[in-house]
Chains A and B, each alone.
Chain A
Amino acid sequence: MSECTLLSGNEAIALGAHLAGVHFATGYPGTPSTEILEALAQGDYEAVRVQWSINEKVALEVGIGASLAGRRTLVTMKHVGVNVAADPLMTLTYMGVKGGLVLVTADDPGMHSSQNEQDNRNYARFAKIPVLEPSDSQEACDMMNTAFELSERFDTPVLLRTTTRISHSKTPVTPGQRTESPVEPGFTKDPSKSVMIPAYARGRRLVVEERSGQLAKLAEESVDAPPHLSRVEMRSPDVGIITGGIAYQYVREALPDASIFKLGMTYPLPMEAIRSFAQMVDRLYVVEELDPFWETEISAAGIEVTPTGLSSVGELGAPAILQTIGAGDSIVGAEPAGGIPVRPPVLCPGCPHRGVFFTLRRGGYAVTGDIGCYSLGVLPPLEAMHTCICMGASVGAAQGIEKALGEDAPNTVAVIGDSTFLHSGMTGIADAFFNGSNMTTLILDNYTTAMTGHQGNPTAGYDVYRSEAPRLEFEPLVRGLGVDDVVRVNPYDMQALESALKSAQETRGPSVIIVEGACALLPWAEHSPPYRVTDECIGCGMCLRLGCPALRRKGTGKRDQVLIAADLCTGCGLCAQVCPQSAIVTEGDDQ
Chain B
Amino acid sequence: MPRIDDVLVVGVGGQGIILATDVIAEVFLRAGFDAKKSEVHGMAQRGGSVESHVRRGESVHSPLISPGRVQVLLALEGLEALRYAHTLNPQGTIIFDPQRIPPLSVATGAQEYPDDLTDQLSRYAAQVTEVKGYEIASKLGNARAQNSVLMGALASLTELPRDLWLEVLDSRVPAKAVEVNRRAFERGLESMSENR
Bound together: yes
Which A residues contact B (CB, under 8 angstroms)?
A: 4-6, 31-32, 35, 112-113, 136, 164-165, 168-172, 249-250, 252-253, 317-319, 331-337, 339-348, 373, 376, 380-381, 451-453, 541, 544-545, 547, 549, 551-553, 556, 558
Closest 5 CB pairs of A and B: A333-B67, A113-B42, A552-B107, A345-B46, A345-B48
Complex Cα gap A172–B60 (Å) = 11
B47 touches A549 (CB 8 A): yes
Which residues of chain A come closer than 8 Å to B38, judged between CB atoms? Answer: 165, 168-170
Complex Cα gap A35–B39 (Å) = 14
B29 touches A113 (CB 8 A): no
B183 at the interface (CB under 8 A from A): no
B66 touches A551 (CB 8 A): no
A342 touches B109 (CB 8 A): no
Quick one: which of B13, B49, B107 contacts A551, CB cutoff 8 A?
Answer: B107
B45 at the interface (CB under 8 A from A): yes
B46 touches A317 (CB 8 A): no
B29 touches A6 (CB 8 A): yes
Given contacts A165-B64, A341-B105, 10 further A-B contacts (CB under 8 A): A169-B63, A250-B62, A318-B66, A332-B67, A333-B68, A340-B82, A343-B79, A344-B104, A345-B43, A345-B45
B26 at the interface (CB under 8 A from A): yes
A340 touches B83 (CB 8 A): yes
B102 at the interface (CB under 8 A from A): yes
Closest CB of chain A to B101's CB: distance in Å?
9
B16 at the interface (CB under 8 A from A): no
A6 touches B37 (CB 8 A): yes
Complex Cα gap A171–B104 (Å) = 35
Which residues of chain A come closer than 8 Å to B44, judged between CB atoms? Answer: 112-113, 345
Which residues of chain B come closer than 8 Å to A253, judged between CB atoms? Answer: 61-62, 66
Which residues of chain B come closer than 8 Å to A556, judged between CB atoms? Answer: 109, 112-113
Closest CB of chain A to B141's CB: distance in Å?
14
B92-146 residues with Cβ-Cβ distance < 8 A to A are 102-114, 120, 124
Complex Cα gap A346–B67 (Å) = 27
B42 touches A452 (CB 8 A): yes
Which residues of chain B come closer than 8 Å to A168, judged between CB atoms? Answer: 38-41
Which B residues contact A (CB, under 8 angstroms)?
A: 12-13, 22, 25-26, 29, 34-49, 60-64, 66-69, 79-80, 82-83, 85-88, 90, 102-114, 120, 124
Closest CB of chain A to B57's CB: distance in Å?
10
Which residues of chain B come closer than 8 Å to A35, judged between CB atoms? Answer: 41
Known: A318-B66, A552-B102. Contact between A164 and B40, CB under 8 A?
Answer: yes
Minimum CB distance partner of B85 in chain A:
A337
28 pairs across A/B with beta carbons < 8 Å?
Answer: A6-B29, A32-B40, A112-B40, A113-B42, A113-B43, A165-B63, A168-B41, A169-B36, A171-B60, A172-B29, A319-B66, A331-B66, A333-B87, A333-B88, A335-B86, A337-B85, A340-B82, A341-B103, A341-B111, A342-B111, A343-B48, A345-B45, A346-B104, A348-B46, A376-B46, A453-B41, A549-B47, A549-B104
Which residues of chain A come closer than 8 Å to B37, judged between CB atoms? Answer: 6, 169-170
Closest CB of chain A to B111's CB: distance in Å?
4
Minimum CB distance partner of B13 in chain A:
A345
Closest CB of chain A to B178's CB: distance in Å?
20
Closest CB of chain A to B121's CB: distance in Å?
9
Known: A6-B29, A112-B40, A165-B38. Contact between A317 and B66, CB under 8 A?
Answer: yes
Which residues of chain A come closer than 8 Å to B83, judged between CB atoms? Answer: 336-337, 340, 343
Which residues of chain B come closer than 8 Å to A31, judged between CB atoms? Answer: 41-43
Which residues of chain A come closer than 8 Å to B34, judged between CB atoms? Answer: 172
A331 touches B69 (CB 8 A): yes
A451 touches B43 (CB 8 A): yes
Complex Cα gap A473–B19 (Å) = 37
A541 touches B46 (CB 8 A): no
B48 touches A344 (CB 8 A): yes
Closest CB of chain B to A13's CB: distance in Å?
15
Closest CB of chain B to A177's CB: distance in Å?
22
Closest CB of chain A to B72's CB: distance in Å?
15
Closest CB of chain B to A215's CB: distance in Å?
29
Closest CB of chain A to B77's CB: distance in Å?
9
Which residues of chain A come closer than 8 Å to B85, judged between CB atoms? Answer: 334, 336-337
Complex Cα gap A29–B121 (Å) = 40
Which residues of chain B come closer than 8 Å to A136, judged between CB atoms? Answer: 36
Which residues of chain A come closer than 8 Å to B67, judged between CB atoms? Answer: 319, 331-333
Known: A334-B86, A337-B83, A343-B80. Contact between A318 and B103, CB under 8 A?
Answer: no
Which residues of chain B come closer than 8 Å to A348, judged between CB atoms? Answer: 46-47
Which residues of chain A come closer than 8 Å to B107, judged between CB atoms? Answer: 544, 549, 551-553
Which residues of chain A come closer than 8 Å to B29, judged between CB atoms? Answer: 4-6, 172
Complex Cα gap A252–B60 (Å) = 9
Minimum CB distance partner of B107 in chain A:
A552
A332 touches B62 (CB 8 A): no
Which residues of chain B come closer than 8 Å to A170, judged between CB atoms? Answer: 22, 25, 36-38
Known: A319-B66, A340-B79, A341-B111. Contact between A334 and B88, CB under 8 A?
Answer: yes
Which residues of chain A come closer than 8 Å to B109, judged between CB atoms? Answer: 541, 544, 553, 556, 558
B68 touches A331 (CB 8 A): yes
